[in-house]
Amino acid sequence: MNTENPNSVEVREQSSPPEPDHLRNRGSGNQQSRAATAFFLALARKPAWRFAGLLLIGTIAVVTWRGTTTRLKATGSADASADGALPIIPVARVVRQDLFNEVPLPGEFRAFQEVELHAKVSGYVKDMNVDFGDRVKAGQLLATLEVPELHDELDRAVATEKRAEADYKDAHLIYSRLQAVDKDHPNLVAQQELDTAEAKDRTEEAAIAAAKADVEKYQTLVGYTHITAPFDGVITHRYVDPGALIQAGTTSETQSLPLVRVSDNYRLRLDFPVSVAYVKDIRVGDAVNVRVESLGGRNFSGTITRSAMRVNQETRTMTTEVEVPNPNLELVPGMYASVVFKAQNHPQALAVPIQALPPGETHIIYVINEQNQVEERPVTLGIQTADKYEVLAGLKEGEMVLVGSRSRVKLGQTVEPKLTGSLAQQ
């Protein structure tokens, strides 16, 4: 019989079975879990302990709730601080710039002047002093023709001139004497005799002039037997050798053979066709850039010197020309080049970056007003270059526009603008 206090609770300890090896090796974390499990089992068996356990659990819950609340307040405060800062957005300033599009066109070099030299008289080639590739100077002797009969004609003309001079001297002496006699002794010499002497004097004088003309003619023809260079240049072709018979190239019916071809390569013409769409942009004196790929992409500068001022009906292009100096003969006629000129040139136009308008948008730009607020602005655009738009209406010089993505801002939002890009100028 139990003599203890009837209110006491008998605690019966039950022996627990031995713990398996795999549970014994779980470490401190498993031990804590087993302790907690045992604690709650004890609470379930003892009412007093149950109350104490509930009180402990409530205390832990309150402490945990207060800690969590404190952390949430701190996090909320930090987030509120971050949300309160103004977002920094990239902007560009509307400025005035010279806007244009660079249009590349193919061109071909040709000699500034080029001529095939023909003989004015028929004869045999006596000497050829040059070959193709030789550089020549203006007036330099290139070839000599042999025309023996021409020299004979010149000798005959010279003899005729000398005879005419002798006849004139005799006729003029007779006329002069008759004039002197008539002056000292009037009516001694018949008037008809004086008139005849005067006529013969003038006739012989005219014969001298004719003889001199013949001499000059044959001297000129003899001069044509010497073929000289008309200008500084390069011999680009040689057609004949010594001994060849050359026909006089004086009529279109005569199929005369040229002796050489001379090209002025010290200054070249670069011809390029301009499409009808860009004819209005061609102006004499405008600078162009010339790029020659066959010289390793070398660039030359030039100016437009002339244009045909007429559109070819077949190709719908207008031939335009640029003069390119070539003192070292680096360029050769026939080379191809790329000519880049400015088309649609709009000087001092209002300009904004292309990034100010997202893809698909053509007339709405986000503007940062004086209060640093985002507002929407409809605009009218002009030409488009590689990186800019021309603004015809809707913006003023000095205003700031948003560049890049619009997803970070909303209309009416206050922001902190940051200038960026090539148009970020004060």
Residue 423: the pLDDT is: 43
CA-based nearest residue to 376, from 404, 410, 352, 345: 410
CA 398 → CA 163, 353, 369, 412, distances in Å? Answer: 95, 14, 11, 20
Predicted pLDDT of residue 23: 40
Q: Where are the beta strands (DSSP E) in 41-180?
A: 88-93, 95-111, 114-117, 123-128, 135-136, 141-146
Element (H, E) at 69: helix 47-84
Half-sphere exposure of 308 (CA within 13 A, CB side): 16
β-sheet bridge partners, residue 306: 321
Q: Which residue, chain included where needed, has tokens 């010594």? A: 242
Total Cβ atoms within 10 A of residue 291: 15
Q: What is the pLDDT along the chain (426 residues), one digit of tens a residue?
A: 444 444 433 334 344 444 444 444 444 445 544 555 555 555 455 555 555 556 666 666 655 656 554 444 444 333 333 455 788 888 888 989 888 888 899 999 999 999 999 998 889 999 999 999 999 999 999 999 999 888 889 999 999 999 988 888 888 888 888 888 878 888 777 888 888 888 988 888 899 999 999 999 999 999 999 999 999 999 999 999 999 998 887 655 557 889 999 999 999 999 999 999 889 888 898 889 999 999 988 888 888 999 999 999 999 999 999 999 999 999 999 999 999 988 888 888 888 888 888 877 778 888 988 888 888 889 888 888 888 888 989 888 888 888 888 888 888 888 888 887 544 443
The closest of 85, 92, 95 to 367, measured between CA atoms, is 92
CB neighbours of residue 420 within 10 Å: 15
* pLDDT value of position 57: 67
What is the spatial distance between Cα 157 and Cα 165, in angstroms, rounded to a whole number? 12
Q: What local confidence, expressed as pLDDT, does residue 14 receive?
A: 40
Q: What is the pLDDT of residue 173?
A: 87
Contact 386, 99 (CB under 8 A): no
Contact 121, 147 (CB under 8 A): yes
- Res 385: pLDDT: 84
Q: Where does residue 324 rank: exposed (0-12), middle (13-18), buried (19+ CB within 10 A)?
A: buried
Question: What secondary structure letter does DSSP report for 312?
Answer: -
- CB within 8 Å of 142: residues ≥ 6 apart: 117, 128, 129, 130, 136, 227, 228, 229, 235, 259, 260
Query: Residue 57: enclosing H or E segment and its boundaries?
Result: helix 47-84
User: Which residues have CB under 8 Å from 201's CB, separation 6+?
Assistant: 168, 171, 172, 174, 175
Q: Which pLDDT does position 59 carry in this prediction?
A: 64
Looking at residue 359, its pLDDT comes to: 77
Q: CB pairs under 8 A, 24+ apart, for 244-251?
A: 244/124, 244/125, 245/122, 245/123, 245/124, 245/125, 246/118, 246/119, 246/122, 246/123, 246/124, 246/125, 246/145, 247/119, 247/122, 248/119, 248/120, 248/121, 248/122, 249/118, 249/119, 249/120, 250/120
- Write down the pLDDT at residue 418: 85
pLDDT at 226: 94
Residue with tokens 């209309």: 411
